[in-house]
Amino acid sequence: MTNSWTDIKNTDLVIVMGGNAAEAHPCGFKWVTEAKAHRAAKLIVVDPRFTRTAAVSDYYAPIRPGTDIAWLMGMIRWMIENDKVHWEYVRNFTNAAFIVKDEFGWQDGLFTGYDPATRDYDRSSWDYVIGEDGFAETDPTLENPRCVWQLLKAHVDVYTPEMVERITGTPADQFLHIAEMIGETSAPDKTMTSMYALGWTQHTKGSQNIRGMAMLQLILGNIGVMGGGMNALRGHSNIQGLTDMGLMSNLLTGYLSMPTEAETDYATYMSTREFKPLRPNQTSYWQNYSKFMVSFMKAMWGDAAQAENDWAYHYLPKLDVPNYDVLRMFELMNQGQVNLYFCQGFNPLMAFPNRAKLTSALSKLKLLVTIDPLETETARFWENHGEYNDVDPASIQTEVLQLPSTCFAEDEGSLTNSGRWLQWHWPGVSPPGDAKLDTWIMSQIFLRVRELYRQEGGSFPDPILNLSWEYEDENDPTPQELAMEINGRALSAVSDPNNPGATLLEAGQQVKNFTELKDDGSTMCGCWIYSGCWNVDGNNMARRDNSDPSGLGVYQNWTWSWPVNRRILYNRASCDLEGRPYDADRMLIEWDGERWVGNDVPDIGVTSRPEEVGPFIMNPEGTSRLFARGMMRDGPFPTHMEPFESPMANVFNAEMRGNPVARVFESDVADLGTSEEFPYVGTSYRLTEHFHFWTKHNKVNAALQPQFFVEISEELAAEKGITKGGWVRVWNKRASIRAVAVVTKRIKPLICDGKPVHVVGVPLHWGFTGVAKKGYGPNSLTVFIGDANIETPESKAFLVNIEPAEEPVA
C-alpha cells in the first residue's frame, strides 16, 4: 500500500476492482465503512460477480475476467477528453513532459522491439531522449508530439467507451456513469482510493493491470495524498514482509536485486545501479544503494566480508535466468532436474495451477520435506483421490518427511501488514506435541549442513562456513536478536559527518535508521528499509500508543512502519510547488518556509525546497512515471492482452495469444484449450468462511461451508439443464472435476464482441486433507502460465466446459 488501512477512512471515493475486500479483508474493510459513514464517501465495485463488497456499494458494474487494462485505458482516455486532469500534478509530479525516443511505437498490440523467436522485447527504444548535459529532455508545455503526455493520449485513443464495452462486457452507459464519479476526484481537494488484490494480480498481465490504475490515479492527482493511493490488499498476514525481506528469487532484502551471472564482480553489479539523477536537483535516493548493499553483505558474512574481497560479493548466488519463480521450479522438477524440495508454509498442490503437472513433478523428487503445522495435500500428493485423478502411488519413489512447525499464534515476532506496519506479536498458546519454531528447524538444518561442510569440505564451502551466526544460543536465535540484526548496528565506531571529530555511533550501537548506514564496512544491516524498527529507542514495533492528534488516522506512535515510520508514501505530492497542501483539511505535511512539518514523516529531505525536489525520490526523474522507463518487461504503457485461454481473439491482433512475453513453458502449450471446445470463462476466488486450505481442518469452518461448489448464472443453468444444488462436471484439457452447482443471480452473462460470455465461478478452499468433504478446487483446471513481470499464475481466467453429472463415488 502507498497509504494505510486506517487512512482509507479519509477518502471521498473507494474503487474496489480486482478484489473483494468485504469478504477477503473483512477487518480492513471497516475503514471503507468509516469513510462512507463519516465522509459520505462512495464505493464503486467492478467485478465479474456481484460480490458481498458489491452488495454494500453505491455502484456496481460487471467485467469479463482478464480485461481490466482496456477498461482502465478507456477511463484514462475519458479523463483526458473531459479535462478531468489534475494539471499541476501531471505537469510537475509525473513524467508527462519527458521526451521519448523517436524509435518507440505501438502497432497491432505490440510495442517496438518484439522478437517472436525469443518471445521477448528489445526495450532500448522505450526510453527518454537524453541531452548533452546528461539530463532527460522535457517539454513543460506538454505539446511536443514525442512527449509522454502526447504519446499517452495517442495510446489510449482507441479505447472508446464502445471499444471498452466490446472487450470487457461492461455496458458503455455503466462505464460512463463510473467515469463521471471518478472524474470528480481530479479536483485537487478530492480523492479516490484504489483497493485491489488478486482479481488484478492473477493474470499474465497482472502487473500492467495495476500500472493502469496507478496511471489513472496519477492523472487525477490521487497519489501521495490522504485518502488516495494504490492500495494492494495483501493476503497472508505477513505477505508484505515476504517481499520486503527478499523472499522473491530475484530479490535480496529491501528490494536490492540479486546479481546476475553477467555481473561477475561488485563493480560490474554496481555499474547498473548508479541511479544518476535524470533531472537537475533530484534526490534519486537509490544513489545510496551501495550503503545498503555493503551493510547487507556485512550482516550476512561479518568479518569475512571486506573491501579487499568485494564484501564477499562472490558468495552471493548469481541468476542465470531472470528468476526462479514457483512455476519455473515446478517445471524443472517435472523435467527431473530437482532432487530435494523444502516446502515450508506452502501447499503448492492446492495453490498452484494444473494439479496433474504438479503431481507429476513432485513424483520425480528424491526427497520432499514439508515444514507445516498441518498435514497438507502436498505432503500426501502421492495418494489417489477423486475418480478423475489417476496417481499410481506404487510407482512413486519420492520420500516425504513432514516436520511439524508452530504457527503465528504460537510464536513471537513481527508481521508486516499491507500498510507497511511492522507489528510485534506475542504467543497466545504453547505449541502442541512435537511442533517446533520455524527458526529452530531452520537453525538445525543450517548447523548440520555447516558441520558436514566442516568435516567433508565441498566445492564452495565458504558462504556456509563464514555465514555470520552470532546468537546467544546458536540452536535457537531469538526473534529479538533477529530483529536487531535486521535493524542494523555499527561494527566499529562511526564518526559524525555533520560534526567533525565527534562520534555518531559507538561500535555495537544500533543504528537509528538507514540514513546512518555506510559502505565502508563500519555498519551492518539485514534489511535497510526495516532499519529503524529496533534502534536506540528499543523495539518500535511493539509500540501500542493509539493516540491520533490530527484525528486523521495517522497513529504515528502505534507500532512502526517502513520506511522511517512514514505512513503515506510520496506525501510530498500532497502539496503544490510552494509546499501548500492541496487540501488543508487533510494536511499530511507542509512547507513552513524553511522545513517540512506536519502529521507524517516527509518523503523528501526535511529542508529540500518544494520548488526544486520532486516527490518520487526513488526514481532518478524525481517524478512518477506515466511511461514506465526500463522497468516493465511487457511495455511502457499497458496495452490490452487477452488471457491465454479466452472466449475472444485480441481485437488488435487476432494472432496474438495472451501476453506475448508471459512466463510460458513449451510443454504447457499443448494443454491450452480453445473456446470452441471450452466455451465458458472460469474464474476462482475465496470465501469469508475459509482461509485457503487450513480451515477445512477445523470442524466449525467445515460446517459453515461444507461443500465444494461452482457458481453459474440462471441463464447458463437453463441452457445446460443444470439445476440448483445438482451435480455438475466441469472440465477442460487439464482436468475434470465434479461439484454441486449454485445457480445465482450474482453472475450474469456478459456481451463481448456481440456474443454472450458465461462465467463459471470456482471457489478455492477444498482439498483432500482435513475434516471437510473432499473437493478439488480450481487448480486442477487452471493454466500453468504466469505474468510477464512477476510470474504470478493466470488463476483468474481460464476456459472450461460444464454439464449436469452424477454425484461422484466418494
Ligand X SMILES: Nc1nc2c(c(=O)[nH]1)N[C@H]1C(S)=C(S)[C@@H](COP(=O)(O)OP(=O)(O)OC[C@H]3O[C@@H](n4cnc5c(=O)[nH]c(N)nc54)[C@H](O)[C@@H]3O)O[C@H]1N2
- If one asks whether residue 684 binds ligand X (CB under 6 A), the answer comes out as yes
* Nearer to ligand X (CB atom), residue 188 or residue 777: 777
Q: Which of 98, 382, 582, 685 binds ligand X (CB under 6 A)?
A: 685
- If one asks whether residue 198 binds ligand X (CB under 6 A), the answer comes out as yes
Q: Which of 10, 15, 31, 47 binds ligand X (CB under 6 A)?
A: 47
* Nearer to ligand X (CB atom), residue 22 or residue 504: 22
Minimum CB separation of residue 643 from ligand X in Å reads 8
Residue 688, binding choice from Mo ion, ligand X, none, Cβ under 5 to 8 Å by partner class: ligand X
- If one asks whether residue 793 binds Mo ion (CB under 5 A), the answer comes out as no
Distances from the Cα of 542 to the Cαs of 241, 423, 476, 545, 553, in angstroms? 16, 6, 22, 9, 19
* Nearer to Mo ion (CB atom), residue 229 or residue 235: 235
Q: Which of 625, 778, 785, 788 binds ligand X (CB under 6 A)?
A: 778
Binders in 734-753 for Mo ion, by CB under 5 A: none
* Nearer to ligand X (CB atom), residue 46 or residue 505: 46
The phi and psi torsions of 789 (rounded to 5 degrees) equal -100, -35
- If one asks whether residue 736 binds ligand X (CB under 6 A), the answer comes out as no
Residue 46, binding choice from ligand X, Mo ion, none, Cβ under 5 to 8 Å by partner class: ligand X
- If one asks whether residue 150 binds ligand X (CB under 6 A), the answer comes out as no
Helix (H, G, I), strand (E, B) or coil at 249: coil
Residue 372, binding choice from Mo ion, ligand X, none, Cβ under 5 to 8 Å by partner class: ligand X
- If one asks whether residue 734 binds ligand X (CB under 6 A), the answer comes out as no
Stretch that binds ligand X, among 228-236, 381-389, 495-503, 768-776 (CB under 6 A): 228-236
By beta-carbon distance, which residue lies closest to ligand X?
Answer: 235
The phi and psi torsions of 340 (rounded to 5 degrees) equal -130, 130
* Residue 169 near residue 757 (C-beta atoms within 8 A): yes
Q: Which of 3, 20, 487, 510 binds ligand X (CB under 6 A)?
A: 20
Q: Which of 48, 610, 647, 679 binds ligand X (CB under 6 A)?
A: 48
**DSSP assignment of 643-698, as one string?**
-SS-SS--TT-TT--S-TTSB--HHHHTT---TTT--EEEEEE--TT--TTTGGGS
H/E stretch holding 702 reads helix 699-704
Residue 684, binding choice from Mo ion, ligand X, none, Cβ under 5 to 8 Å by partner class: ligand X
* Cell numbers found for residue 298: 556485512
- If one asks whether residue 235 binds Mo ion (CB under 5 A), the answer comes out as yes
Minimum CB separation of residue 243 from Mo ion in Å reads 12
Stretch that binds Mo ion, among 71-79, 216-224, 229-237, 764-772 (CB under 5 A): 229-237
Instruction: Tell me how far apart the alpha carbons of residues 386 and 378 are, in angstroms, rounded to a whole number.
Output: 15
Residue with cell 530437482: 338
Window 400-419: contact mask with ligand X (x via CB under 6 A): -----xxxx-----------
* Nearer to ligand X (CB atom), residue 617 or residue 788: 788
Stretch that binds ligand X, among 62-70, 173-181, 281-289, 733-741 (CB under 6 A): 62-70
Minimum CB separation of residue 198 from ligand X in Å reads 3
- If one asks whether residue 235 binds ligand X (CB under 6 A), the answer comes out as yes
Stretch that binds ligand X, among 193-201, 448-456, 522-530, 541-549 (CB under 6 A): 193-201
Phi-psi region of 492 (alpha: psi -120 to 50; beta: other; left: phi over 0): beta
- If one asks whether residue 49 binds ligand X (CB under 6 A), the answer comes out as yes
Which residues are CB-contacts of 211 (< 8 A; sequence separation ≥ 6)?
628, 632, 638
- How many other β-carbons are positioned within 10 Å of the β-carbon of residue 548? 15
- If one asks whether residue 614 binds Mo ion (CB under 5 A), the answer comes out as no
* Residue 408 near residue 416 (C-beta atoms within 8 A): no
* Residue 20 near residue 56 (C-beta atoms within 8 A): no
Q: Which of 566, 692, 733, 746 binds ligand X (CB under 6 A)?
A: 692
Residue 183, binding choice from Mo ion, ligand X, none, Cβ under 5 to 8 Å by partner class: none
Number of residues that bind Mo ion (CB under 5 A): 1
Reference 370, options 347, 395, 350, 349; nearest CA is 347
- If one asks whether residue 646 binds ligand X (CB under 6 A), the answer comes out as no
Residue 255, binding choice from Mo ion, ligand X, none, Cβ under 5 to 8 Å by partner class: none
- If one asks whether residue 380 binds ligand X (CB under 6 A), the answer comes out as no
Minimum CB separation of residue 201 from Mo ion in Å reads 9
The phi and psi torsions of 17 (rounded to 5 degrees) equal -140, 125
- If one asks whether residue 786 binds ligand X (CB under 6 A), the answer comes out as no
- If one asks whether residue 796 binds ligand X (CB under 6 A), the answer comes out as yes
- How many other β-carbons are positioned within 10 Å of the β-carbon of residue 40? 8
Phi-psi region of 754 (alpha: psi -120 to 50; beta: other; left: phi over 0): left
Q: Which of 15, 41, 52, 65 binds ligand X (CB under 6 A)?
A: 65
Q: Strand ranges (DSSP E) for 233-380?
A: 340-344, 367-372
* Cell numbers found for residue 620: 532518478
Q: Which of 41, 182, 197, 300 binds ligand X (CB under 6 A)?
A: 197
- If one asks whether residue 564 binds ligand X (CB under 6 A), the answer comes out as no
- If one asks whether residue 17 binds ligand X (CB under 6 A), the answer comes out as yes
Residue 68, binding choice from Mo ion, ligand X, none, Cβ under 5 to 8 Å by partner class: ligand X
Instruction: Tell me how far apart the alpha carbons of residues 626 and 211 are, in angstroms, rounded to a whole number.
Output: 9
Residue type, 108: D
- If one asks whether residue 688 binds ligand X (CB under 6 A), the answer comes out as yes
Q: Residue 389: how many CA atoms within 13 Å on its side-chain side?
A: 28
Q: Which of 171, 302, 345, 431 binds ligand X (CB under 6 A)?
A: 345
Phi-psi region of 712 (alpha: psi -120 to 50; beta: other; left: phi over 0): beta
Number of residues that bind ligand X (CB under 6 A): 54
Residue with cell 568479518: 303
Residue 478 sits at the vertex; the CA angle it makes with 475 and 481, to the nearest 5 degrees, is 115
Burial of 570 (0-12, 13-18, 19+ CB in 10 A): buried
**DSSP assignment of 734-774, as one string?**
S-EEEEEEEEETTS--EEETTEEE-EEEEES---SSSSSPP
Stretch that binds Mo ion, among 227-235, 283-291, 359-367, 450-458 (CB under 5 A): 227-235
Minimum CB separation of residue 346 from Mo ion in Å reads 11
**DSSP assignment of 110-153, as one string?**
EETTEETTTTEE-GGGSSBPB-TTSSBPB-TTS-STTBHHHHHH
- If one asks whether residue 377 binds ligand X (CB under 6 A), the answer comes out as no
- If one asks whether residue 595 binds ligand X (CB under 6 A), the answer comes out as no
Minimum CB separation of residue 688 from Mo ion in Å reads 15
Cα-to-chain-centroid distance, residue 406: 26
- If one asks whether residue 348 binds Mo ion (CB under 5 A), the answer comes out as no
Strands 120-121 and 114-115: antiparallel
Stretch that binds ligand X, among 21-29, 522-530, 596-604, 613-621 (CB under 6 A): 21-29
Burial of 27 (0-12, 13-18, 19+ CB in 10 A): exposed
* Residue 419 near residue 244 (C-beta atoms within 8 A): no
Instruction: Please report, as ranges, the residues that interact with Mo ion according to CB under 5 A.
Output: 235
Instruction: Please report, as ranges, the residues that interact with ligand X according to CB under 6 A.
Output: 17-21, 24-25, 46-49, 51, 63, 65-66, 68, 197-199, 202, 233, 235-236, 344-347, 351, 371-374, 376, 405-408, 438, 683-686, 688, 690-694, 764, 778-779, 782, 795-796
